[in-house]
Chains A and B, each alone.
Chain A
Amino acid sequence: MSSRERILGRVRRALADVPPDDTPYEQVVRRDYLREHGERTVEQTVELLAENLADYRAVVHRCTEAELPSLVARLLADRKAGSVLVPSGLEAGWLAQADVSRVADRTESTPDDLDRVDSVVTACAVAIAETGTIVLDGGPDQGRRRISLVPDHHICVVRVPQQVVASVPQALERLAPARPLTWISGPSATSDIELDRVEGVHGPRTLEVLLVN
């Protein structure tokens, strides 16, 4: 007997006392919890996102579409970034004014190659106000998962209000499970020393989120 059959057999024997029940799953679990917490206008939801991002030490900037290229250029210059990783589908205009060398997100790049790049600029798939979370789904303007991980400085552009949802349940509705997803809430952190939160371990130690109208 294979281990698969053995485990499945054990499960069935273990449940021998349980009477059969074919209630459809949707009826078993009462989803009477809230779809979002509190009532907010669209602008208030965006405000809450900004507040919660900042609460977990992400640096939040707000600007218009027209101001975006100069803001990105300034943030990269402030970091003295010499190079920036660019996902293949990133809007060309976002980096138009930045005076840094651009590194394409390519299959051939080794982790060491990525480690030599100073910054990365990506878009996102959705942002969650209640938790201060941005979610990347590997779309063309976000690139492979590793490019937003290895460089120490991540600039993430969120289009507001279209990409902002209030809550976790609303975010899951918008996301496609088959895509590789990365949920990011503030820069890398740890609670491993005396159960107190410290920012800055393996992921980008600086996360800048640009909320663009």
Chain B
Amino acid sequence: MSRTFVGMPVFPPPTHPAFPEAARDAVHNHTLRSNLRHATHTIRAKRARAVAELSDWDRLREAGRLIKDHTLRHLDRYLVQLEESVTAAGGTVHWAVDAAEANRIVAELVKATGESEVVKVKSMATQEIGLNEALLEEGIRAYETDLAELIVQLGNDRPSHILVPAIHRNRGEIRDIFRTEMGAWGRPAPDGLTDTPAELAEAARLHLREKFLRAKVGISGANFMVAETGTLVVVESEGNGRMCLTLPETLISVVGIEKTVPTWQDLEVFLQTLPRSSTAERMNPYTSMWTGTTDEDGPRAFHLVLLDNGRTDALADQVGRQALRCIRCSACLNVCPVYERAGGHAYGSVYPGPIGAILSPQLRGTASEIDASLPYASSLCGACYEVCPVAIDIPEVLVHLRERVVEGGVAVRQGNKVVLKPAKGHAAERAAMRAARWAFSHPGALRTGQRLASRTRRLHPRTLPGPGRAWSATRDLPAAPAEPFRDWWQRTRGGKDGAK
């Protein structure tokens, strides 16, 4: 074990500014603020209604938590079982330690078909590993077919939300992107395209139709993988998922290992909690379930790429591992006051919002500026925990990761135990905490200090000098009382004497 810092960020190396800098532009962008406010407030009210319809919501949530925790606890066993089931059903299972390996496997599988283009279902895992860019380097063009992903791809933009990657765009901006960019990728936008959502959806339908009909290779992720049966589940709305999962001859699914559930029956929990948490619907329009290959129905070849890419590192963290319960519903983003104002791009990851703030630093390590700042991208208000359908205590993990950033300590990176050094930028915080620890264990000194503070209260500055300035830039210093609490207590016996 080495004392030096070897926590290397996993692909892509985040050369992203820290969260506060990245968020600064966003909070001053009025269009972005109003787009985000409109969208998140729309969905919040709807989600609350959809959840209220189920009187047993708390029990479903608890069952979801237990299913996921149990699976993670025996993940090795369930992965082996899943592999057996998928193989028995006619699929081929591949294992990818990291992004580079997953991309290589997929590129080789596509090349083996002789094709140079693929259609894609929206998938967080393939976003995470940068699959489209990796395929392009191999001469393979990947077409995103989810409407929001299409908007992001055409706009040469980055996703800013788990469920609705183009949430930062309003209808007018989407129309402009379609008008100017669609032609370069295939069928151009219809003449006279307006910004009504129905017309925009129609434009996407026409643009993508030709791609679906000629596609020979489809690439997807999955929401769930059932170990017992080998069944994969994709939950979607538009039908682009069904197109990619059933029309091509070859299907390649890249799925994080934590997406496993033990039994078929387990789906009865998540198929109730996921749609209501994400799009606030009783049920999303389309859910596809497939088990290996089926004779004369759908793809003739099915490949499953099981992806680690930092997940086992997160699994090694006793507090942080609960983040692997996440079913990517995005309810935590929609209720988060920080996300609503900062937007998704500031998080510097395909996983923005509260879940991103605990997932990215675990998958990638806390070495980079952005990853070390993410645990602080929260007011710890707890709204995320409240709405989470698998009860991930996001504030708990945030505080835990803050401690890791400030104090350093033992962590697992790429399968190896490492000792992280305390982060540089937090020296003042550490010094303050050390001073506090000393003062609280020396009552005499504490009393003297408090009395001194009370007597000099008129002289106290409003902001801290030196290294404390950054802290007090966004906070008021607490005002010292005229008399320390303990003196007051002793003088009045807790106010019992009626004295004030």
Q: Which residues of B contact A7 (CB under 8 A)?
A: 79, 95, 97, 257, 306, 308, 312
In the complex, identify which listed stretch (B8-16, B17-25, B258-266) lies at the interface while the others stay far away.
B258-266
Tell me the bound Cα distance from A110 to B205 in angstroms: 19
Closest to A169 in B: B268
Which residue from B95, B238, B287 sits with its C-beta under 8 Å from A189? Answer: B238
The reply on A60 being an interface residue by CB < 8 A is no
Say yes or no: B198 contacts A200, CB within 8 Å.
yes
Say yes or no: A197 contacts B279, CB within 8 Å.
yes
Q: Which of A2, A29, A110 has the most CB of B within 10 A?
A: A29
The reply on A149 being an interface residue by CB < 8 A is yes
Chain B nearest Cβ from A49, distance in angstroms: 12
Say yes or no: A202 contacts B243, CB within 8 Å.
yes
Which residue from B80, B208, B214, B246 sits with its C-beta under 8 Å from A146? Answer: B246
Q: Say which size band chain B's interface belongs to.
A: 35 or more
Which residue from A25, A30, A178, A192 sits with its C-beta under 8 Å from B164? Answer: A192
Which residue from B43, B70, B294 sits with its C-beta under 8 Å from A138? Answer: B294
**Contact bitstring B228-251, A, C-beta under 8 A = 1, else 0:** 010100000111101101110000
The reply on A184 being an interface residue by CB < 8 A is yes
State the total of A-B contacts with C-beta under 8 angstroms. Answer: 255
Tell me the bound Cα distance from A185 to B171 in angstroms: 25
Which residue from A14, A32, A189, A197 sits with its C-beta under 8 Å from B412? Answer: A14
Tell me the bound Cα distance from A6 to B96 in angstroms: 9
> Given A4-B95, A111-B213, A146-B247, A37–B53 Cβ distance below 8 Å?
yes
Q: Which of A32, A187, A197 has the most CB of B within 10 A?
A: A197
**Contact bitstring B31-45, A, C-beta under 8 A = 1, else 0:** 000010011101100
Q: Which of B40-91 contact A (CB under 8 A)?
A: 40, 42-43, 53-56, 59-60, 62-63, 66-67, 70, 73, 75-76, 79-80, 89
The reply on A79 being an interface residue by CB < 8 A is no
The reply on B166 being an interface residue by CB < 8 A is yes
Q: Which residues of B contact A107 (CB under 8 A)?
A: 296
Chain A nearest Cβ from B214, distance in angstroms: 8
Say yes or no: A202 contacts B240, CB within 8 Å.
yes
Q: Which residues of A contact B290 (CB under 8 A)?
A: 180-181
**Contact bitstring A176-213, B, C-beta under 8 A = 1, else 0:** 01111111111111111111111111111000000000
> Given A112-B213, A133-B283, A11–B76 Cβ distance below 8 Å?
yes
> Given A144-B297, A180-B289, A25–B238 Cβ distance below 8 Å?
no
The secondary-structure label for the interface of chain B is helix
Which residue from A180, A184, A198 sits with its C-beta under 8 Å from B198? Answer: A198
Tell me the bound Cα distance from A188 to B44 in angstroms: 22
> Given A149-B243, A168-B272, A188-B238, A34–B289 Cβ distance below 8 Å?
no
> Given A8-B80, A202-B240, A195–B298 Cβ distance below 8 Å?
no
The reply on B271 being an interface residue by CB < 8 A is yes
Closest to B293 in A: A180
The reply on A40 being an interface residue by CB < 8 A is no
Tell me the bound Cα distance from A184 to B238 in angstroms: 11
Which residue from B35, B101, B208, B265 sits with its C-beta under 8 Å from A3? Answer: B101
Chain B nearest Cβ from A174, distance in angstroms: 12
Which residue from A11, A30, A169, A199 sits with its C-beta under 8 Å from B66? Answer: A30
The reply on B148 being an interface residue by CB < 8 A is yes
Say yes or no: A181 contacts B289, CB within 8 Å.
yes
**Contact bitstring A130-169, B, C-beta under 8 A = 1, else 0:** 1111000010000011100110000000000000000011
Which residue from B170, B237, B283, B296 sits with its C-beta under 8 Å from A190? Answer: B237
> Given A25-B263, A29-B63, A145-B298, A203–B288 Cβ distance below 8 Å?
no
> Given A13-B316, A185-B283, A201-B204, A111–B212 Cβ distance below 8 Å?
yes
Chain A nearest Cβ from B287, distance in angstroms: 4
> Given A32-B59, A191-B164, A111–B247 Cβ distance below 8 Å?
yes
Q: Which residues of B contact A128 (CB under 8 A)?
A: 283
Q: Which residues of B contact A13 (CB under 8 A)?
A: 316, 412, 415
Q: Which residues of B contact A110 (CB under 8 A)?
A: 213
Say yes or no: A11 contacts B79, CB within 8 Å.
yes
Say yes or no: A15 contacts B147, CB within 8 Å.
no
> Given A32-B59, A34-B55, A194–B148 Cβ distance below 8 Å?
no
Q: Which of B97, B212, B239, B242 has the most CB of A within 10 A?
A: B239
Chain A nearest Cβ from B20, distance in angstroms: 27
Q: Which of B308-332 contact A (CB under 8 A)?
A: 308, 312-313, 315-316, 318, 321
Q: Which residues of B contact A169 (CB under 8 A)?
A: 265, 268
Tell me the bound Cα distance from A28 to B65 in angstroms: 11
Q: Which residues of A contact B415 (CB under 8 A)?
A: 6, 9-10, 13
Chain B nearest Cβ from A16, distance in angstroms: 8
Chain A nearest Cβ from B458, distance in angstroms: 51
> Given A144-B297, A193-B171, A202-B240, A28–B101 Cβ distance below 8 Å?
no
Tell me the bound Cα distance from A14 to B148 in angstroms: 36
Chain B nearest Cβ from A46, distance in angstroms: 17
Q: Which residues of B contact A168 (CB under 8 A)?
A: 268, 271-272, 283
Q: Which residues of B contact A195 (CB under 8 A)?
A: 39-40, 42-43, 164, 167
Q: Which residues of B contact A133 (CB under 8 A)?
A: 283
* B-binding residues in A (CB < 8 A): 2-4, 6-15, 17-18, 21, 25, 28-34, 37, 52, 56, 107, 110-112, 115, 128, 130-133, 138, 144-146, 149-150, 168-169, 172, 177-204
Closest CB pairs A-B (n = 7):
A203-B239, A202-B239, A14-B316, A10-B312, A131-B283, A201-B238, A183-B287
Q: List 7 A-B contacts (CB under 8 A).
A: A7-B257, A25-B262, A145-B245, A181-B290, A185-B285, A194-B39, A202-B239
Query: What 18 additional pairs, Cβ within 8 angstroms, besides A132-B283, A195-B167?
Result: A3-B95, A3-B101, A33-B63, A37-B56, A144-B296, A146-B246, A168-B283, A177-B229, A188-B237, A188-B239, A190-B147, A192-B164, A198-B197, A200-B198, A201-B204, A201-B205, A202-B243, A203-B286
